Amino acid sequence: MKAITITREYGAGGGEVSRRLAEALGWQVLDRELLHQAAHLEQMPDEELDRLDEKAVSMADRFRLHPPHQRYLRGLTEAARRAAQQGNVVLVGRGARHLLGEMPEVFHLRLVAPREWRIERMAKLEGWSLDQARARCLEVDRTRELFTRYFFGEAAGQPAQYDLVANTARVSLEEVTRLVSAIVRSDAAAASRPAQARVLTLSRELGAGEKGFAAALAERLSLRLYDRELLEQETVRLGIPQAEIEKIDERPAGIFQRFRPGSIYQRYIEALERIIRELADRGDVILVGRGGNCFLRDDPRAFHVRLVAPLPVRLRRVMEYRWVREDVAKKLITESDSQRRSFYESYFGVDWADPLEYHITVNSGRLGPAALDLVAYAAERHWSRSESAVSHGPTRNGLWN
């Protein structure tokens, strides 16, 4: 890798991660410096670009004869591309991921965290009241969202745009740094196996996992894999033919169907929860789909991963694996996404695609074989930290800029 871009929610730790990565790799950080370079390239005063920096474009600017935001974006694009081509650089914010497009040898990282967590963190860091921190967080979130949507479109924030999306409320900034450094250096060596039970939940888009990804990950980590095997256990528990279970497996249900006493849907979800919790208690398992991350949301042993990929990659894989035409593959993907999204919404009340529901969201389409290395390394680090916390008691959660 020659460069890293960091897209961050306010308070999620982008500044600290960029500095830690630069120190670990011996690279340069370009944050506001990128703005100064853009100003120099466009021969604009720094204060003029500062007025536009990561902010929504005013109506007055949009209708000027020579809109300043066009020069702002042109200067940023050229500055970002020059820096990435030179290499050994971490580019922070300002749409750098989208400015660079699909330039090779660039790793794209996005940092997210729940808003309330970010508010509390920034209040402690800056000595603000919670109301002050909340107002600042809401303001910056809004302006960055408008900026991103205006210049780069609605899809700019989707997980499939990035190599890795990390939830820093679950994964510390130090661990994010270790993970990205290891992948960039291609030295994600295996950690020593912890003695405690290990649990990994794997949520995936259709076509996002290479065929056999879960099995290869299970073999790499010496874990037992439960995917279709969960169906077999559900069949035994419920005393219902597997063909009947498959009709409702990972599919949504209406309120009446879910809560009607003795309904197959109610029995299904209750049995599924018992099975998943029992398997987690035994440990050393990978649980694929079926809301495992929701059932085990607060289980410290569990590491929650979601696999995504750009649509063209998903289409190609589904066409290859299922021997179908592109139009059929597209229909299968659309139906699968809709069913899984509705399943999570109807049973758990959450957005299946929300990165905040996981520790990390990994783009197997962009990373290819390295996705397996990244997930395995991150999971082993998580279990090692969890075991250490159990052995030594809770540690103070550090605060970073």
- Lowest mean pLDDT segment, chosen from 12-16, 294-298, 392-396: 392-396
CA angle 42, 46, 51 (to 5 degrees): 105
How does the average pLDDT of the chain come out, rounded?
Answer: 84
Quote the DSSP letter at residue 5: E
Those residues whose C-beta lies under 8 Å from the C-beta of residue 147, and which sit 6 or more positions away, are: 54, 55, 56, 57, 95
* pLDDT tens-place string over residues 304-354: 999 999 999 999 999 998 999 999 999 999 999 999 999 899 889 999 999
Please report the pLDDT score of residue 202 as a whole number: 96
* pLDDT tens-place string over residues 142-166: 888 888 888 888 888 899 999 999 9
Q: What average pLDDT does range 181-205 have in this prediction?
A: 80
Please report the pLDDT score of residue 206 as a whole number: 93
State the Cα–Cα distance between residues 375 and 95, nearest whole angstrom.
Answer: 26
20: nearest Cα among 172, 165, 147: 172
Query: What percent of the chain shows pLDDT beyond 70?
Result: 77
The DSSP result for 74-131, as a single string, is HHHHHHHHHHHHH-SEEEESTTHHHHSTT-SSEEEEEEE--HHHHHHHHHHHHT--HH
Binned at pLDDT 50, 70 and 90, residue 263 comes out as: confident
Q: What average pLDDT does range 353-375 have in this prediction?
A: 95
User: Is it the case that residue 393 has pLDDT exceeding 60?
Assistant: no
Binned at pLDDT 50, 70 and 90, residue 25 comes out as: very high
User: Is it the case that residue 213 has pLDDT exceeding 80?
Assistant: yes
307: nearest Cα among 201, 210, 217, 209: 209
Binned at pLDDT 50, 70 and 90, residue 63 comes out as: very low
Q: What average pLDDT does range 276-286 have in this prediction?
A: 92
Please report the pLDDT score of residue 395 as a whole number: 41
68: left (phi over 0), alpha (psi -120 to 50) or beta: alpha
Please report the pLDDT score of residue 118 as a whole number: 97
Please report the pLDDT score of residue 42 as a whole number: 57
